[in-house]
Amino acid sequence: MTLWLTIFAAGLITYATRLSFILLFERIQIPAWLRRALRYVPAAVLSAIILPELVFQDGTLAVTPTNPRLLAGIVAILIAWRTKNILLTLVSGMVTLWILQAILQRLS
């Protein structure tokens, strides 16, 4: 029972937090410069989450050709840039990662 109560409470708090911003921005006029700046928040947050996963390997900086995550990330970035297709980007990045991991595993 305590687990379900905790899950429900966490969901309620998350919902209330998000709803508060919706209701707040509905009632106040946001300056144009802030509205323009807020458009870049999702890309900045996504970059902050993904970049460390690409360039760090076992807790150390690994910007080398033997880092399969970095190479797969570069492939995914190029596919995303050229096609603007999220599914193709995810699939190509994962397939590239799996192939590179298999190749590097055989070499070592």
Residue given tokens 């966490």 in the structure block: 10
- For residues 61 and 26, membership in a common domain is answered with no
Q: Is the CB of residue 70 less than 8 Å from the CB of residue 84?
A: no
pLDDT of residue 33: 94
pLDDT of residue 13: 95
Domain span at residue 74 reads: 41-108
- For residues 30 and 64, membership in a common domain is answered with no
Average pLDDT, the chain: 91
Assess whether pLDDT exceeds 80 at residue 3. Answer: yes
Number of domains in the chain: 2
- Nearest residue to 80 (alpha-carbon basis) of 46, 53, 107: 46
pLDDT digits 0-9 by tens, 13-46: 999 998 887 887 778 888 899 889 989 999 899 8
pLDDT of residue 38: 87
